[in-house]
Amino acid sequence: MRWRGPFADSYFAAAALVIFALVPYLALASAFQPLQTQIATGLHLSSQTLANTSGLANAGYAFGTVLAVQLAVRTRPRRLLALYAAGLVIGSVMTALAEPPALFIAGHILQGLFTSLMLIAAVPPLVIGWPAKRMPITAGIMNLCIFGAVAAGPVIGQMQLSAHAWRPLFWLATGSAVLALIFVILTWEDESAPQPRGSWDPMSLLLAGGGSAVAFFGASELTSHPFLSTITFLPLVAGVSAVVLLVIHQATISDPLMPMRQLITTKPTAGILAAMAAGASSVPAIDLVEQAIKPSGSPAHLGSLFWPFFGGAVVMAVVFGLVLKTRGLIVLVLIGLTVLAGGVATLTGAAHGPHTLVAFGSGMVGVGVGSSVAPALFMAGYSVRAMYIQRVLALVELLRAVAAFLTAPILLHLALSTGGITGAGTETALWICFGLAAGGALLSLYVLILGRARPQAPDIERWQREGDVPAWDSPPLAAGIRSPKSRRGSAHYLPNG
């Protein structure tokens, strides 16, 4: 009999593992911007090198989603999770202790990589490994871990800036990583690998890893180079092209890492578009506002303006849990994108308006993100078999990360080069963010209408119990304009994966 941890049967211990695994890096990523000058000064790094470090850490996060799926096919999942947690601890200690710049750079990249590896390894068992009655709690935890942590970042970053100390934040991240490793051991259950002799997909790993690295490197070079310079534009184009080729590759091969053919139906397509639009509009919007209001107050005061951002995410985590099992899930996503667009529109006046605009607008953005991204993920997950939830999460997080973390430096560069960060440039960039959110809402709605996808309560119990059927029906794309013959049987459409 294999050894089992003392808390292997504890749902709340499994939830604690997810919380301590995901919060550190995701909070650090959004707290990073106000601390850049302090970190660069303390480590004797140039602003360009620090931007490269942040960009490559985000690339590691994006690549880790695909790598985690590939490794999970052939290896015992709990042993992988222990390895990931140990890697996160090592990377966090390296950043907290760093005196040589190279130690910090390597450690922060490891933080990004191992956080996404743990996300893909730890979250799916929490979703499908416990009774359906736990699902609303799981949904709220996911929302808070992924988006609540991001929403808390600006407040935490400004507080640390006010204290003139950035290392304590990295030590807190280290402590959280250590707790994650402890909970991996306490909840230990050494299951067998799904496919010990499963095939490797080196092409997907190359496209995901190479594409993420060069794309985020190119975006980070915007700190000191024009957009159309060779060192920025060519890597950006090459990296984004590689990610697009990855998606096409997954849709065409016989044994894909991610079930693209099952996801190219109405509801998951609309959900993925919504998640990408929310990420691409919210992350740069908050970054732009942080930069724009920097000269107008103390760090402690400016940080307090983003409490509504975090509060909105907390409120919507509760609402999401309440709506999860109802017909309102799809409606919640569309409302979330609409509120997000309204919040970004409000923030366009932040540079020269009263600070109450920042508080009100950031609160709307928090509500919008909290009610769109995680619900959109479940829109996609419910549309395929429960056994594929890990792979769906990997794809959605890859595309969301690329959309969010590439758009932010591009729009920040646009603001700086078209009127300044405290002038018309920020307003222009924020209106682009508004267009991304509003356009994402309209495009997702159009996909749903074109496919005649009706609001439907997911059958979560059956989805978990049987494992080989979706939780609800997802019509083929554009089913509403296809011939009656091609629409026949579309109510239970489930293409081969």
Per-residue pLDDT for the chain (497 aa), expressed as one digit of tens each?
477 889 989 999 999 999 999 888 888 888 888 888 889 988 999 999 999 999 999 999 999 999 999 998 878 888 999 999 999 999 999 999 988 899 999 999 999 999 999 999 999 888 888 888 899 999 888 888 877 888 888 888 888 888 888 899 999 999 999 999 999 999 998 877 776 676 788 999 999 999 999 999 999 999 999 999 999 999 999 999 999 999 999 999 988 888 898 899 999 999 999 999 999 999 999 999 998 888 877 888 888 888 999 999 899 999 999 999 999 999 999 999 999 999 999 999 887 778 889 999 999 999 999 999 889 999 999 999 988 999 999 999 999 999 999 999 999 999 988 877 777 889 999 999 999 999 999 999 999 999 999 888 999 999 988 878 899 999 998 887 865 555 544 444 444 33
> Is residue 159 classed exposed, middle or buried when 0-12, 13-18 and 19+ CB atoms within 10 A define those classes?
middle
Q: Confirm whether pTM is higher than 0.75.
A: yes
How far apart are the C-alpha atoms of 206 and 238, rounded to whole Å? 13
| Helix/strand/coil for 476 | strand
Q: Is-contact 441 277, C-beta < 8 A? A: yes
Q: Is-contact 426 288, C-beta < 8 A? A: yes
Quickly list DSSP for 286-347: HHHHHHHHGGGS-HHHHHHTTHHHHHHHHHHHHHHHHHTTSTTHHHHHHHHHHHHHHHHHHH
How far apart are the C-alpha atoms of 402 and 382, rounded to whole Å? 23
Six token digits for residue 447: 């996909």
**CA–CA–CA angle 383, 389, 392 (5° rounding):** 75
How far apart are the C-alpha atoms of 155 and 150, rounded to whole Å? 10
| Closest of 149, 138, 140 to residue 31, by C-alpha | 149
Domains in the chain with CATH codes = 7-190 (1.20.1250.20), 207-254 (no CATH), 260-497 (1.20.1250.20)
How far apart are the C-alpha atoms of 15 and 377, rounded to whole Å? 18
How far apart are the C-alpha atoms of 443 and 405, rounded to whole Å? 21
The amino acid present at 448, given as its one-letter code, is L
